[in-house]
């Protein structure tokens, strides 16, 4: 697999290097297989039949400490409750960390799911991308690829899935359902004004330039109609405008902060959702700083939580101010939670048994806390079986009009469910 580095490397606690890369064949370099994608959409795989719905996944890279944010245990022994205190919110009985004062003012605009379980105990995006963890085989497609294949298209030239993070790819759904990356080649053409050559040979040369040397010549054999449709993005004012943050007032951008990850990319995600993209993934605030094995409270207090509070408050209030709260669903979570017991380095370690998800919009029931993780936050004791990330994604699929009971043949022709655990989170309804 070809990888193109686009940023600095970073090494997590487990020694795994995280590098912002585009993975040809996994991420589908910005628009690489757009003709194939459009062909599938036109054949009926994704038809617009209802009001456009969109989901934004905000990924807290490194694993957020739920016990120091939304699932606090003030009555637990000191080695569990930590250093922070909860504060009241504008929703009676709903409390958040004292270092999230802006969240306390808008608690009626979000819901917290506590005690969600994942399988993964190591860093990586596979489970948060696909809903599947561990050594499950065959490798499963990302949620974004499923949305591309089975979701309702806005049919306005926008790509169905935009990734601003290192997602896993489309797996057996095929490269046509890979993500569009704003850092890919097509994005450079969009920024350049979108000039489109008129001759057919010019069209093919443009496609060849967008693909680079990553794909075989056979993928250039798209029909004239779909070649032209792929290049509509280059000529589309709507597409260029959606990606142009210069059209936002400086006062709005300032609310998100100057950082790109977890700042202006969250504003961009809202713009893309409003413009017709169905699934958007983005790194959240304090990117790469959530892995707090040491000095958890100092790091959260001085940098991570203030940055989170500001940017997420801006995003959620913007979601409502723009009238998107009924049709755009925002999910904010890390790859796992942190241990309930504080370690000897004043840190918290990896903990897949319980994590929190902040949820906003989608027309769902807001202003509530779902799940009860007991006195120490070990796991959800309110249900016989705690909710899992697959339950969350089952809810996402149904919100987007996708039946989680669909079976898709894998690379060996064996039918595979989109998810193994397809119960939805009923408290949201």
The predicted-structure confidence for 195-235, as pLDDT tens digits, reads as follows: 544 444 454 454 455 444 434 443 443 334 334 445 666 66
| Mean pLDDT computed over 69-79 | 97
For residue 260, is pLDDT > 60? yes
Task: Tell me how far CA of residue 394 lies from CA of 120, 143, 199, 280, in angstroms.
Answer: 18, 10, 46, 17
Beta strand spans in 106-213 (E): 111-116, 161-164
| CB neighbourhood size of 403 (10 A) | 11
Question: What was the pLDDT predicted at 48?
Answer: 40
For residue 89, is pLDDT > 80? yes
Nearest Cα neighbor of 200 from 216, 218, 220 is 220
Which band of pLDDT confidence, cut at 50, 70 and 90, is reported for residue 153?
confident
Q: Mean pLDDT lowest for which of 116-120, 178-182, 346-350?
A: 178-182
Rg of the chain (C-alpha set): 21
Q: Which helix (H) or strand (E) holds 57?
A: strand 54-60
Nearest Cα neighbor of 86 from 56, 112, 47 is 112
Q: Which helix (H) or strand (E) holds 58?
A: strand 54-60
Q: How far apart are CA 343 and CA 349, in angstroms?
A: 8
Peptide bond into 260 cis (omega under 30): no
| Mean pLDDT computed over 229-255 | 81
Q: Mean pLDDT lowest for which of 34-38, 130-134, 135-139, 396-400?
A: 34-38
Phi, psi of 110 (to 5 degrees): -145, 165
| Mean pLDDT computed over 311-319 | 98
Q: How far apart are CA 313 and CA 105, in angstroms?
A: 9
Mean pLDDT of the chain: 84
For residue 285, is pLDDT > 90? yes
Report DSSP state, residue 135: T
Which band of pLDDT confidence, cut at 50, 70 and 90, is reported for residue 349?
very high
Question: What was the pLDDT predicted at 189?
Answer: 59
């Amino acid at each position: 697999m070809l990888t193109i580095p686009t940023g600095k490397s970073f090494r997590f606690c487990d020694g795994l290097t995280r590098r912002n890369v585009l993975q040809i064949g996994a991420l589908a370099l910005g628009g690489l297989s757009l003709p194939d994608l459009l062909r599938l959409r036109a054949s009926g795989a994704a038809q617009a039949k209802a009001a456009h719905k969109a989901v934004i996944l905000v990924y807290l890279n490194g694993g957020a400490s739920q016990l120091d944010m939304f699932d606090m245990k003030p009555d637990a022994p000191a080695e569990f409750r930590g250093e922070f205190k909860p504060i009241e919110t504008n929703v009676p009985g709903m409390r958040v960390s004292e270092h999230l004062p802006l969240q306390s003012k808008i608690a009626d605009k979000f819901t917290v799911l506590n005690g969600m379980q994942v399988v993964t105990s190591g860093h990586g995006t596979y489970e948060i991308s696909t809903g599947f963890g561990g050594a499950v085989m065959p490798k499963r497609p990302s949620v974004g690829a499923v949305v591309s294949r089975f979701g309702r298209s806005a049919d306005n030239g926008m790509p169905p899935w935009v990734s601003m993070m290192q997602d896993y790819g489309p797996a057996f759904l095929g490269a046509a359902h890979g993500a569009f990356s704003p850092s890919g080649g097509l994005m450079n053409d969009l920024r350049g004004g979108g000039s489109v050559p008129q001759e057919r040979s010019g069209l093919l040369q443009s496609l060849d330039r967008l693909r680079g040397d990553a794909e075989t010549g056979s993928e250039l054999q798209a029909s004239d109609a779909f070649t032209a449709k792929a290049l509509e993005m280059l000529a589309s004012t709507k597409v260029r405008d959606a990606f142009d943050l210069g059209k936002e007032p400086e006062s709005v951008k300032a609310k998100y902060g100057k950082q790109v990850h977890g700042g202006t990319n969250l504003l961009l995600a809202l713009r893309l959702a409003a413009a017709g993209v169905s699934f958007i993934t983005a790194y959240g605030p304090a990117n790469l700083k959530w892995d707090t094995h040491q000095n958890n409270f100092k790091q959260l207090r001085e940098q991570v939580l203030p940055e989170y509070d500001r940017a997420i408050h801006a995003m959620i209030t913007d979601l409502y101010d723009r009238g998107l709260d009924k049709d755009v669903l925002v999910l904010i979570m890390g790859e796992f939670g942190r241990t309930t017991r504080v370690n000897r380095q004043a840190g918290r370690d990896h903990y897949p048994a319980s994590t929190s998800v902040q949820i906003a919009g989608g027309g769902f029931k807001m202003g509530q806390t779902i799940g009860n993780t007991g006195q120490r936050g070990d796991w959800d004791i309110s249900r016989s079986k705690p909710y899992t990330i697959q339950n969350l994604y089952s809810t996402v699929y149904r919100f987007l009009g996708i039946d989680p009971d669909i079976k898709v043949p894998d690379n060996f022709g064996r039918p595979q469910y989109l998810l193994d655990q397809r119960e939805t989170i009923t408290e949201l309804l």
